[in-house]
Amino acid sequence: QVQLAESGGGLVQAGGSLRLSCIASGRTSDHLHVGWFRQAPAKEREFVASISNLAYNTDYTDSVKGRFTISRDNAENTVYLQMNSLKSDDTAIYFCVALQLTKPWAQLARGAYDYWGQGTQVTVSS
């Protein structure tokens, strides 16, 4: 069974930066496509970014392009989300999700995933 553990959330002022980490256990991360979703209060969970198992492909929702960068270190079984130029609209709980390698990476952006973490809170003050 795969377990995902997020860390790195916190309170930051608008314009600041945070780096989220997602550590996978139970299976080596190079067998998983990984993504980040977020959910703000009273809003639907939305796709943020994804990265294929060997990092050949990445995808971002339009609102974070140019500000967020997803990357991974498979030797450390860790996926990162570097968030720069944060805005109050980025305030949400951020969830790490993963999809088995046997399934198409692009499914992550459509909300299809096999595993998910407990989430980490990101709060951006204006």
Bridge-based pairing state of the strands 78-83 and 18-25 = antiparallel
Q: Which token pair is 64?
A: 């974070």
| Nearest-angstrom CA–CA distance, 114 and 64 | 24
Residue 23 has pLDDT above 80, yes or no: yes
- Quick check: 29 pLDDT over 80? no
| H/E run at residue 36 | strand 32-39
The 10s digit of each residue's pLDDT in 104-116 is 999 999 999 999 9
Q: What is the mean pLDDT of the chain?
A: 95
What's the confidence (pLDDT) of residue 37? 98
Q: Is the pLDDT of residue 50 over 80?
A: yes
